[in-house]
């Protein structure tokens, strides 16, 4: 027969209660606006450069989660398709710009890190960090030789999800999926 010590049972019940409260506290963290406000491409030296403005949600729950050691992953998905008249569009290029947002408790700063290059910026407030994440200027997405004559569509969407967790929160938040949101696609035609 399995016997559970009352102290262990109490610890288990407290952990479950904390997990439920943590899920409720952070469950609505991504409420608010998540939208690509504008986007366009410019061409420089045969390279198409993406410029976009994204609005990310700001909430006390996001701030609390970052202060608890949660890392947020911010993605900007880009899709370039060649339009076809009598068939499905052909994929030309799909790219993701991935960045992470952390809070550094010792310096009391918010850190934005580009996952691919490793470059990092530091900000005094969450609003400044999100504004920086929302301003994409001159990200190379395509080179001219990749394009055959025809009409092309470019689509971008923003995504926000929970990234790395500190070890202390793994047990409490392993089943929640409330930390993932993507915006609608923002689509336009590439000028001839």
Q: What is the pLDDT of residue 103?
A: 94
Task: Tell me the mean pLDDT in the region 174-182.
Answer: 64
Q: What is the pLDDT of residue 18?
A: 45
Contact 182, 157 (CB under 8 A): yes
Distance CA 155, CA 64 (A): 32
Comparing 6-15, 108-117, 120-129, 139-148, the range with the smallest average pLDDT is 6-15
What CA–CA distances, in Å, run from 124 to 65, 104, 172? Answer: 17, 10, 29
**What is the reported pLDDT for 107?**
94
* 110-to-39, 68, 103 alpha-carbon distances in Å: 26, 13, 4
Mean pLDDT of 159-165: 74
Lowest mean pLDDT among 22-36, 40-54, 134-148: 22-36
Of residues 112 and 59, more confidently modeled: 112
Q: Which has more confidence, 5 or 58?
A: 58
Can you give the pLDDT at residue 187?
94
Residue 25 confidence (pLDDT): 42
Specify the pLDDT at position 88: 76
pLDDT for 93: 86
> Whole-number mean pLDDT of the chain?
81
User: CA torsion sign, 25 to 133 to 70 to 79?
Assistant: positive
Kindly state the average pLDDT of the residues 175-185.
74
- Of residues 177 and 76, which shows the higher confidence score? 76
Is the model's pLDDT at 175 over the cut of 80?
no
Domain ranges of the chain: 6-189
Distance between CA atoms of 64 and 62, rounded to whole angstroms?
5
- Higher local confidence (pLDDT), 29 or 160: 160
17 falls in which pLDDT band (50, 70, 90)?
A: very low
Q: pLDDT digits over 132-147, tens only? A: 999 999 999 988 878 8
- Residue 153's alpha-carbon distances to 49, 54, 82, 90, in angstroms, are 14, 19, 6, 10
Q: How many Å apart are CA 175 and CA 173, to the nearest integer?
A: 6
Based on C-alpha coordinates, what's the Rg of the chain? 21
């Amino acid at each position: 027969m399995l016997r559970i010590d009352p102290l262990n049972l109490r610890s288990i019940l407290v952990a479950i209660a904390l997990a439920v409260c943590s899920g409720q506290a952070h469950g609505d963290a991504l409420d608010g606006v998540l939208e690509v406000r504008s986007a366009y491409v410019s061409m420089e030296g045969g390279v198409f450069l993406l410029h976009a403005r994204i609005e990310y949600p700001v909430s006390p729950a996001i701030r609390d989660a970052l202060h608890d050691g949660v890392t947020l992953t911010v993605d900007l998905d880009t899709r370039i398709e060649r339009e076809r008249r009598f068939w499905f569009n052909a994929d030309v290029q799909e790219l993701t710009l991935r960045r992470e947002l952390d809070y550094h408790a010792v310096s009391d700063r918010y850190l934005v890190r580009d996952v691919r290059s490793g470059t990092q910026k530091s900000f005094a407030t969450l609003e400044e960090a999100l504004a920086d994440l929302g301003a994409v200027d001159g990200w190379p997405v395509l080179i001219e030789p990749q394009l055959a004559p025809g009409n092309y569509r470019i689509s971008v969407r923003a995504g926000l999800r929970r990234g790395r967790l500190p070890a202390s929160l793994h047990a409490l938040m392993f089943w929640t999926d409330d930390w993932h949101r993507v915006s609608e696609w923002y689509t336009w035609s590439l000028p001839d």
